[in-house]
Amino acid sequence: MEKGKKGIGLTTQIFIALILGVVFGYIFPVYGQALKPVGDTFIRMIKMIVVPLIFSSLIMGIAGTGDFKKLGRLGAKAIIWFEVATTLALFVGLAVANIFQPGAGVAIATGTDVSSAAAAATKTIDMTQMIVNIVPTNVVDAMGRGDMLQIILFSTFFGVAAAAMGEKGKPTVTLAISVAEIMFKFTWYVMKLAPIGVFALISYTVGKFGLGMLIPLAKLIGSLYFALVLFIVLLLACASLIIRMNFFQLLRAIKEPILIAFSTASSEAALPIAMEKLEQFGVPKHIVTFVLPTGYTFNLDGSTLYSALAVIFIAQVYNIPFPIETQLIMLVTLMMSTKGIAAVPGASLIVIAGTAAAFGLPVEGIGIILGVDRILDMARTACNLIGNCVAAVVVARWENELPDEVLKVAYTKNYD
pLDDT tens digits, 165-219? 888 888 888 898 888 888 888 888 888 888 898 899 888 878 887 776 667 788 8
Q: Is the pLDDT of residue 343 over 80?
A: no
The alpha helices in 35-147, defined as continuous H runs, are 36-65, 68-100, 114-121, 127-132, 139-145
Model confidence at 89, pLDDT cuts 50, 70, 90, reads very high
183 contacts 89 by C-beta, under 8 angstroms: no
pLDDT of residue 341: 54
Q: How large is the average pLDDT for residues 252-280?
A: 87
3-state secondary structure of 113: coil
Residues 6+ apart with CB under 8 A from 210: 26, 29
Return mean pLDDT, the chain.
81
What is the C-alpha to C-alpha distance for residues 380 and 372, in angstroms, rounded to an integer?
Answer: 13
pLDDT of residue 308: 92
End-to-end Cα separation, the chain, in angstroms? 9
Span of 26-30, 135-139, 246-250, 368-372 with lowest mean pLDDT: 368-372
What is the C-alpha to C-alpha distance for residues 195 and 31, in angstroms, rounded to an integer?
Answer: 17
pLDDT digits (tens, 9 = 90+) for 52-65: 887 887 787 777 65
- Over the range 33-49, which residues count as b (16 or more CB within 10 Å of their CB) and which as e? bebbebbeebbebbeeb
Domain boundaries, the chain: 10-412
Q: Is the pLDDT of residue 292 over 70?
A: yes
Highest mean pLDDT among 83-87, 139-143, 169-173, 179-183 belongs to 83-87
pLDDT of residue 213: 61
Predicted structure pTM score: 0.78
270 contacts 42 by C-beta, under 8 angstroms: no
Q: Options 1.10.3860, 1.10.3470, 1.20.272, 1.10.10; which CATH number does 10-412 get?
A: 1.10.3860
Taking CA atoms, 234 is separated from 66, 89, 242, 302, in Å, by: 36, 9, 12, 13
Residues 6+ apart with CB under 8 A from 109: none
pLDDT of residue 234: 95
Q: Is the pLDDT of residue 97 over 80?
A: yes
